[in-house]
A and B are shown apart, each in its own frame.
Chain A
Amino acid sequence: MGQQPSEMTLYLSLTHNCQLRCNYCYAGEKYHKPMSKETIIKSIDFTLKLPMQKLEFGFFGGEPLMEWELFKFATYDIEHKTKEKNIELIKTFTTNGVLLNKEKVIWLKQHGFYVVISIDGNEAMHNTHRLYANGEGTFKAVQNGIKELQKVYNDGEYAVISVATPENINHLPNSLKYLHQELGINNIHIALNYFANWGDETQTYTKLYHQVANYTIEQYRQGKKLNLDIIDDKIKTEIESSCKSCSFGELKLAIAPSGNIYPCERIIGNDTGALSMGNVHTGFDHSKRAELIAQRGNSNEECKTCPLKERCTNSCGCTNYTLTNSINTTHGTVCFFQKLFIEVADKVASTLYEEENEMFMRKFYGVVSTH
């Protein structure tokens, strides 16, 4: 591998199949082609030959819970092998939530999985895109899955992820309130479908995200816990002078049902082999991997003098590649929204810092006051 990473990430895509037909999904065509047990074993063995002290292991898809027996098989295998090698193991997976039931939730809890459930928001926002193959909305089924999870899981052990698109973003403020207040979820990721055509409704989007910021401020004032990644992460980029860097291909491996090795789980798609770094059955394509790592970063001239460049995710390899067909070229949509997220995060932080908000000070500075 050329270096001695302390932490690696491995994602297995157990299947291309899914019950849902979300029209923003980037995971490719849905069909029954599960990963074989042989491929699972080779994927794990292949990864554990790399030097590491800690491994974040997860499933992505296709819907992983559709292959529950393989899910358990892979988990047992990696638990056993990381224990033998004295490697710290963190387990996580993302699910559409439809198949979550008591039996599965208890098993997941027993095995320490951090669970991320995809729910776009309230019924109106969620059912805009997240539909079964027959066109029926999945909201009720996902809501039931979350309630099953909440019977067993504690607050810090799960999160939800909502995807905002041009078609559903008007519901965002009400959806946030719904997830937080009615479903009682405190850990909320708001992802953006960067690949949609966002047009030029910039004032509308700005207004909506400022509503999200205002809601967040109000929750801190009321002492109600809310971890909202678009706010928290950007505040941390300023407070800690650091931004999460893209581990594309270097510290992260994503393996398709075929055994093809990709630099990021979001690149697998239809498993065409584009950007593949080899196959677990035949080994790494070291030159391809080195080529991908060398291309990472950002090459836009406009970004070089941008005062926000250190707080921006303009070097996210998979987003750049999907939008511009280049790993290091950032699209204007990313630029606009990154700027907006920083703006609203700074609004939240400035307001709460000025007010000496105790919850804010503890969370971001570890103290109750600096005044």
Chain B
Amino acid sequence: MKLQKASKPIITYPKREHIKPILLSATVAMALTACVPHTAGKIPTDNTENPYSTSNTPHEGNQEVNLPDNIAGGMPVFIPEENNQTWGNNPQK
């Protein structure tokens, strides 16, 4: 095989930096805000210290996202992250 000439791919998904702050659809935002206690400030990220802890409240590793005022009243909403486990160093790659 020889070196290939590549054309520039058409990318239809965004870079991560371009989607913060995120805009959630109204339906998703409503569903999320319904699960989160209405505290004025930041919800503790450590679940064990969270007096409002429920099964839907955040725990360590979650991400805080500020919604635009017109969607969620400026209240922080926490969205659990997928377990982005580290792959380690793959020696055979």
Contacts and interface: CB of A to CB of B under 8 A. Distances in A.
Contacts of A330: 3
Given A332-B1, A335-B1, A366-B81, A350 B12 contact: yes
Contacts of A118: 92
Contacts, number: 134
Interface stretch (B17-25, B39-47, B49-57): B17-25
A187 B87 contact: yes
B91 A266 contact: yes
A238 B92 contact: no
Interface string A228-271: 01000001001111000000000000000000000001100000
A151 interface: no
Nearest to A244: B93
Interface string A87-117: 0001010100000000000000000001010
B92 A239 contact: no
B79 A366 contact: yes
Contacts of A359: 82
B48 to A, nearest CB: 21
A45 interface: no
Contacts of A163: 92
Interface in B73-93: 79-85, 87-93
Interface string B10-32: 01111111010011110010001
A171 B85 CA distance: 28
Contacts of B9: 307-308, 342-343, 346
A370 to B, nearest CB: 5
B13 A94 contact: no
A189 interface: yes
Contact of B13 (A60, A342, A349, A362): A349
A41 interface: no
A365 B6 CA distance: 27
A189 B22 CA distance: 31
B65 interface: yes
A306 B25 CA distance: 37
A333 interface: yes
Contacts of A6: none
B81 A362 contact: yes
Nearest to A241: B15
A56 interface: yes
Interface string A292-330: 000000001011001110000000000000000000001
B70 interface: no
B92 A363 contact: no
B15 A238 contact: yes
Interface of B: 1-9, 11-17, 19, 22-25, 28, 32, 63, 65, 79-85, 87-93
Q: Which 5 A-B pairs have the closest CB atoms?
A: A353-B13, A332-B1, A363-B82, A307-B8, A362-B82
Given A60-B91, A368-B32, 18 more contacts: A56-B89, A58-B89, A116-B88, A116-B90, A161-B90, A189-B93, A191-B90, A191-B93, A238-B11, A238-B15, A266-B92, A307-B6, A333-B1, A336-B4, A363-B84, A366-B16, A366-B79, A371-B25
